[in-house]
Structure 1
């Protein structure tokens, strides 16, 4: 949009400056971004291609990047292997989805509820509490594994779903992300809601959460992806019963079968990464849309 003002005999133009770029610069940008996207997509294309390769193509040296004789035998062999286990494959799928969905939902709700008073309310010790959370981001999950195990054992949650879900709920990354987004909400918006008689919970749920939608959509991606793969080596530390283990544990047992199971293992790898990728693709479109419409300034 352009606005013209006339002061006497002088004409002043106010508006956004148009950026001119040569056709050569446009072509170079397209080529650079295309090459970057190509190299980023190579690992995913390779995994998909390997899932449909017959075993002789998988073992060919030097390896071929794309499949030449696609087949579904890897998936049928995978189904037969999983059908032969004494725990139904559907049970592994249920365990995985239960841990990922419940853990993600609880983490988003609790992290946002904890971030709201830290970001928008003033009380003694607020800065100290936030400093502790920031310092906790310095430690990897490996450092806290022993402490988490002792805590879950004391609570009697070993060999249950909650041994994986409870530590994931208290992740400090979600709290930090929500707090940073909530700080950008104008205080006048919350004050107007208080004048209208809204309770703190109603302000949080009906005003704050819709405004920070990009934050919790992003948090859903991170939390779901981490919990989807949490049932492997990490989950085996807390869950011992076979009927409570997740799908990635079941698929890892196929990988331990040796080279004869390399075909089903390639199909298992594709199935293991398919769900997180679909979740990311779905949530990414919402994040782009909401980031362009939810920006607010005081």
Structure 2
């Protein structure tokens, strides 16, 4: 008994020395991973002589907004207003993200909680599709979009985004952790499948669909609209920003500003939802 009491009284956590070592190690790795982001932010405010300086300096010494003013001057000569490119980008990104989250969640619910013939086969196909990169499916996707008559429309990008299998896989794995007893209790109380899905399932899996929003937003924000859209009025911000770099080395400063602007939206959304993303990544592989 005395031995058990002594063991029970021992600290189960690590020593202070080990905590300090781990803190330094994690801090060093985090700092190394943050270098590209810091370098991008710093470059956006560097004058042209600092951008071409060798060896390059991580932090800006003489900050300036000239890169941004030059970028504004470049857009002022465009016959299509820059606001039109911004509207196209946000329309594609928001519509594609919302549709993907709803469709992936609705498809994942029966795969996770309803037993029907062929369920495992369908999920195996979903998992198998994750092995193929977008480069492998470019030609079939283009042929499908062309057959549907969606070339040179925003739906040529939005519709394929609805069916991304990564979202279906993520939502299905997360929904499997919800106890079946909870759903059975709701059915006993008279709740329909539709009500169970929207009022029970979706609130519980909030971390998962917030993570899905990040993945979908990141994919659509730089969607590469030039592959399917040819009209200038329908193109997106990533296209017009890419044209800035076509001016060569003389536009290196504005391109540094472009790199920062393209990072702003994804990074902001990630910062707002990072706690839910971490929770999703830590629990997506667990089962009841």
**Short-chain TM bin:** over 0.9
SS in 1 for 2:149: coil
In 2 relative to 1, CA 288–62 (structure 1 residues): closer, same or farther, beyond 3 Å?
closer
In 2 relative to 1, CA 263–111 (structure 1 residues): closer, same or farther, beyond 3 Å?
same
1:255 is matched with 245
Does residue 62 (structure 1) correspond to residue 55 (structure 2)? The answer is yes
In 2 relative to 1, CA 265–124 (structure 1 residues): closer, same or farther, beyond 3 Å?
same
Pick from 212, 222, 238 the counterpart of residue 215 of structure 2: 222
User: What CA deviation, in whole Å up to 9, does each residue of 1:243-293 have, x standing for no partner?
Assistant: 11110110110011011111111001100111110011111134457999x
CA RMSD of aligned residues (A): 2.4
User: Which shifted more, 280-289 or 23-32?
Assistant: 280-289
User: What CA deviation, in whole Å up to 9, does each residue of 1:74-117 have, x standing for no partner?
Assistant: 00110110121011111111111111111011000000000100
1:166 offset after TM fit, Å? 0.7
Pick from 134, 137, 145 the counterpart of residue 138 of structure 2: 145
2:74 is matched with 81
C-alpha contact (below 8 Å) 1:213/1:290 kept by paired residues: no
Does residue 173 (structure 1) correspond to residue 166 (structure 2)? The answer is yes
C-alpha contact (below 8 Å) 2:208/2:276 kept by paired residues: no
C-alpha contact (below 8 Å) 1:46/1:65 kept by paired residues: yes
In 2 relative to 1, CA 73–25 (structure 1 residues): closer, same or farther, beyond 3 Å?
same
Does residue 94 (structure 1) correspond to residue 84 (structure 2)? The answer is no
Unaligned runs of 5+ in 2: none
In 2 relative to 1, CA 16–61 (structure 1 residues): closer, same or farther, beyond 3 Å?
same
Does residue 49 (structure 1) correspond to residue 42 (structure 2)? The answer is yes
Unaligned runs of 5+ in 1: 1-6
Partner Cα distance (1:14, 1:240) in 2: 72
Pick from 271, 274, 281 the counterpart of residue 264 of structure 2: 274
C-alpha contact (below 8 Å) 1:51/1:266 kept by paired residues: yes
1:15 offset after TM fit, Å? 7.7
C-alpha contact (below 8 Å) 1:186/1:297 kept by paired residues: no
In 2 relative to 1, CA 291–257 (structure 1 residues): closer, same or farther, beyond 3 Å?
closer
Q: State the TM-score, normalizing by the size of structure 2.
A: 0.93
In 2 relative to 1, CA 135–286 (structure 1 residues): closer, same or farther, beyond 3 Å?
closer
C-alpha contact (below 8 Å) 1:214/1:291 kept by paired residues: no
2:16 is matched with 23
In 2 relative to 1, CA 194–236 (structure 1 residues): closer, same or farther, beyond 3 Å?
same
C-alpha contact (below 8 Å) 2:108/2:168 kept by paired residues: yes
User: What CA deviation, in whole Å up to 9, does each residue of 1:137-181 have, x standing for no partner?
Assistant: 111111111111111111111101110011111011000000001
Partner Cα distance (1:138, 1:197) in 2: 41
Does residue 200 (structure 1) correspond to residue 190 (structure 2)? The answer is no
Q: How many residues get paired?
A: 286
Partner Cα distance (1:41, 1:124) in 2: 48
Partner Cα distance (1:15, 1:75) in 2: 63
Partner Cα distance (2:182, 2:38) in 1: 47
2:147 is matched with 154
Partner Cα distance (1:127, 1:34) in 2: 42
SS in 1 for 2:247: coil
